[in-house]
Structure 1
Amino acid sequence: MELRFNHQKVNPTALKAMMSLEQYTSSRCTDKVLYELIKIRVSQINGCSFCLDMHAKDLLKLGDHADRILLLSVWREVPLFTEKERAVLELAEAVANIGQAGVPQPVYDKVREFVSEEEFIDLIMAINTINSWNRIAISTGMYPGCFD
């Protein structure tokens, strides 16, 4: 793996824009564990090692979540996630793979059992933000430790 270039140095204005989006989504998501689960799951789907490493470590800082990190890719198969987390993870998968089937009505309906319309938009913004970070990291060749 080789870093193509450091996007932070090449285009600090773009980084500033992404950081504004990150700060917004972070401030809107009160459940920090769920926020990190979204980031990890979307990063798994997108194959972004840099973001996966970063957010797994961030979730570990929030408590003993090692089993949840290890089993997140098979969240449907294990009883480690709440019903709300399951609904949001399904939404995250649908949005990350939006070109395949959109966001099916049953996925939307399930998430809305747990969140308001405003919170739904906050979740979509969080999912879109990590999708954008993933695409920047993958496109520029970022990997865990590339800036060390």
Structure 2
Amino acid sequence: MSHARSEYEDFKRIAPDAYDLVLALGQVAAKAGLDKQLLELVKLRASQINGCAFCVQHHVLLSERLGIPADKLHLVAVWREAPIFSARERAALAWTEALTLLPDGFGDEVYAQAQSEFSETELTYLTSAVASINVWNRFGAAYRWTPPKRPGAAQAAS
């Protein structure tokens, strides 16, 4: 079992200016009008790819509060095979994977798919959301932040 090297709250305390900047970047897409449920799916997918347990749990909990069905949350990792996702969600998830897995290359097909579902402005803000969650994932994974508990959840036995 891995242990936290530092915690989320420590980041806020140690580097409040960096925390505020990353937080602000993560909020601009929603403020610009992108659907909050879509943004949570994107953040969840990037967090899965990056192996950030804190961020996966955080975005699952936020997604549930926003009313995203459990079936959809369970299928984010295999979204290509799951018919539950809309064309817009598929374009956003493909865009997220391409931006998160940059060494794998970034094909014109993914860009064309994203352009067909998002305006130029929306795609720019979607890109900012993906960039932001990738920054959060770097902190969460590097410091092994402890995943947040579901409100009302009992403490697990060690």
- The answer to whether the superposition gives a TM-score over 0.5 is yes
1:7–1:140 Cα contact (<8 Å) kept: no
Amino acid at match of 1:123: L
**1:29–1:122: 8 Å Cα contact kept in structure 2?**
no
SS in 2 for 1:120: helix
Do the aligned partners of 2:34 and 2:122 also contact (CA within 8 Å) in 1? no
Match of 2:109 among 106, 111, 116: 106
Please point out which of 40, 48, 53 is paired with 1:49.
Answer: 53
Q: Is the 8 A contact 2:58 2:148 kept in 1?
A: no
Q: Please, which of 68, 77, 81 is the counterpart of residue 73 of structure 1?
A: 77
Distance in 1, matches of 2:45 and 2:68, equals 18
Aligned residues: 146
| Distance change >3 Å, CA 35–CA 29, structure 1 → 2 | farther
Aligned residue number for residue 128 of structure 2: 125
Rounded Cα–Cα distance in structure 2 between residues aligned with 1:33 and 1:63:
8
CA distance in 2, matches of 1:42, 1:142: 16
> Could you say which residue in structure 1 is the equivalent of 2:152?
none
The one-character-per-residue Cα deviations of 1:84-112 (angstroms, maximum 9, x if unpaired) are: 111111110010001211x2101100111
CA contact (8 A) 2:54 2:144 kept: no
Q: RMSD of the alignment, in Å?
A: 1.6
Q: Could you tell me whether the CA contact under 8 Å between 2:29 and 2:129 is conserved in 1?
A: yes
**Runs of 4+ displaced beyond 3 Å:** none
2:5 counterpart letter in structure 1: R
CA deviations 1:107-148 (Å, max 9, x no partner) are 1001111111111111111100000000011112212139x9
Q: Which amino acid aligns with 2:36?
A: K
Shift of residue 64, structure 1, vs aligned partner: 4.6
Partner of residue 144 from structure 1, selected from 132, 144, 147: 147
